[in-house]
Structure 1
Amino acid sequence: MAHQEHREHDTLDTIDEQVLKGELFFERHGKKIIIAVAALLVIALGFFAYHRFVTIPKSEKATAQMFVAEDSFMLGQDSLALKGQGAGTQGFEAIAKNFSGTDAANLAHAYSGICLYDMGKYQEALTELKKFSSDEAVVAPSIQRIIGDCYVQLGKLDDAVKAYETAAKQANNEAISPSCLIKAGHVYEKQGKYDKAIALYNEVKTKYYTAPEAETVEADLVRAQAAQGK
């Protein structure tokens, strides 16, 4: 019994010692802990405030500016779409720069690239198109296909083929993939790589056989086979 009381007394002493250590630790570091917690709260509140009062209004302003630029783009007025119409309106270039971090700015890079390509400014177009980022199954591969077009115009055929094949793989559908594969095949023909061109044309015929390109690609296939046989 005395032994048990001694153990209980030792246990209580140990608990008291641990509590005392905890109290001493808090006395020594309590201010630091409170400051750290307060700092986390300030950061969290700051993030919320920034999102509510900066990010959202910024996105709304960017979207409003995009409507005007898109109208010019749809009318084929590439220069106006790119540079803006003045009187408080901004073109795609300014939207991408002034509203960075928004979805509108990201899309503005894509629009800018297309406008620049149509204007024959292929290197500038390539720079803008590469700034666009998306995992969307239609827009992303379509932009990748235009990147391939830029490389062709710049004479960078290896890069062009890579871009076209990447676009076809990203899309993996009959709306986009066949045209990308055919474009890649044309580049391979320019390089004299007829076997690779033929393989891509056959892929269009077999994998995307219900697409319109499955019929028109026959002419490409015959041409490549004839060139290979020379």
Structure 2
Amino acid sequence: MATYKKKGFKAKDKKEQNQIDDAKFETAEVFHSLEETATKSEQWIEKNSQPLFYTLIGIVVLFLAFLGYNKYIIEPNELEASNELAFPRKHFDEAATAGSGIDSLLNLGLEGADGKYGFIDIADSYSGTDAGNLANYYAGVSYLQMKQYDKGIEYLSKFNSDDEMLGPVSLGAIGDAFSDINQPEDALDYYEKAANKKANDFTTPLFLYKAAQTAMSLKEYSKAVDLFTQIKEDYAKSDQGKDIDKYINAAKYAE
């Protein structure tokens, strides 16, 4: 015969009843603890509401100031510097194709004329902008073309770029300058920096080759072997990779 069970639950014995009572007590303690924590949090917030409010206002003000500084100071300054760069770049580009009078064109690019800034002024007046940074590069290259190596190194050293081509080329140009003034140790250092700046199929093998040749002139033959070998392993199809075994063997037998 089916047994009818009454609604509700009754503990079978005293032990089970005690377990139920303990569970109820623990649950009550947890809720009491949560209530106390919530009360303390509310009291702390109420007590510190004014400082919290001012802190929040301060954060908002700083954020708005940052946005305003970018919009009304940085962006217009960048645009102005970029516009100023057009005049000296025109003369720099003309010097690259001119048959004669190159130095006068480069000087116009460096110093400016007719109320227009040259690379030197732009680099100085807009030092925090991308155009100001780029002006250092153009000034450095201009000085190198005029064989004023110290100034060329000075301005190129101020230039910084993560561009895949421009970054390595600027470092390699400093290496060329040191090579031209017979400071091969410094030249080697910058050629290696140029080779390692941004790996690509054009600048990397070029500056590895220049570094290896400079190492040969310094009689650092093992270093030259390593550099030539890197070209063979990673850039065999480059211009510098042609006949690279000849250079590797020359470095090995020179030891």
User: What TM-score, normalized to structure 1?
Assistant: 0.79
Q: Paired residue for 2:18?
A: none
Please, which of 60, 80, 93 is the counterpart of residue 108 of structure 2? 80
Between 220-229 and 48-57, the greater mean CA deviation after superposition: 220-229
Shift of 1:74: 0.8
The 8 Å contact of residues 125 and 150 in structure 1, kept in 2 or not, is answered as yes
Counterparts of 2:108 and 2:235, CA distance in 1? 38
What's the counterpart of residue 106 of structure 1?
133
Which structure 2 residues correspond to residues 135-214 of structure 1 after superposition, within 5 A?
A: 135-201=162-228, 203-204=230-231, 207-214=234-241
What letter corresponds to residue 56 of structure 1 in structure 2?
A: E
Contact 2:224–2:251 (8 Å) recurs in 1: no
TM-score (structure 2 length as normaliser): 0.72
Matched, 1:25 2:44: yes
Q: Is 1:221 matched up with 2:247?
A: yes
Instruction: Output the CA distance in 1 between the equivalents of 2:162 and 2:152.
Output: 20
- Distance in structure 2 (CA, Å) of the matches to 1:226 and 1:10: 79
CA distance in 1, matches of 2:248, 2:202: 23
Q: Give the letter for the 1:100 counterpart.
A: S
Q: Deviations over 1:88-122 (max 9, x none)?
A: x2111211221222211121111111112222222
Residue identity over aligned pairs, in percent, reads: 26
The structure-2 alpha-carbon separation of the partners of 1:44 and 1:206, relative to structure 1 and needing over 3 Å to count, comes to closer
Q: Would you say 1:96 and 2:146 are equivalent positions?
A: no
Matching of residue 50 in structure 1 with residue 92 in structure 2: no
Larger CA Rg, structure 1 vs 2: 2
Larger mean Cα displacement after TM superposition, 19-28 or 126-135: 19-28
Unpaired runs of 5+ in structure 1?
none
Distance verdict in 2 for CA 1:66–1:14, change over 3 Å: closer
Any gaps of 5 or more consecutive residues in structure 2?
A: 1-20, 96-104
SS of the aligned residue for 2:90 comes to: helix
Deviation at 1:49, TM superposition (A): 0.7
Q: C-alpha distance in 2, partners of 1:13/1:203?
A: 68
Q: Using the TM superposition, give the Cα deviation of residue 64 of structure 1 relative to its aligned residue in structure 2, in angstroms.
A: 0.7
Q: Return closer, same or farther for 1:114/1:27 CA change in 2, 3 Å cut-off.
A: same
What is the aligned counterpart of 1:117 among 141, 144, 167? 144
Deviations 1:56-91 (A, max 9, x none): 11111111111111111111222111111232x211
Q: CA deviation at 1:182?
A: 2.5
Given that residues 194 and 224 in structure 1 are in contact (C-alpha distance below 8 angstroms), is that contact kept between their aligned partners in structure 2? no
> Where does residue 156 of structure 2 map in the other structure?
129
The 5 Å alignment of 1:2-41 reads 15=35, 21-41=40-60
Judging changes above 3 Å, is the alpha-carbon distance between structure 1 residues 10 and 40 closer, same or farther for their aligned structure 2 residues? closer
Query: What amino acid does structure 1 have at the position aligned with 2:200?
Result: N
1:156 and 1:32 mapped to 2: Cα distance?
62
* Equivalent pairs, count: 223
C-alpha RMSD over aligned residues = 3.4
Worse-superposed segment, 118-127 or 76-85: 118-127
Distance 1:23 1:199, change over 3 A: closer
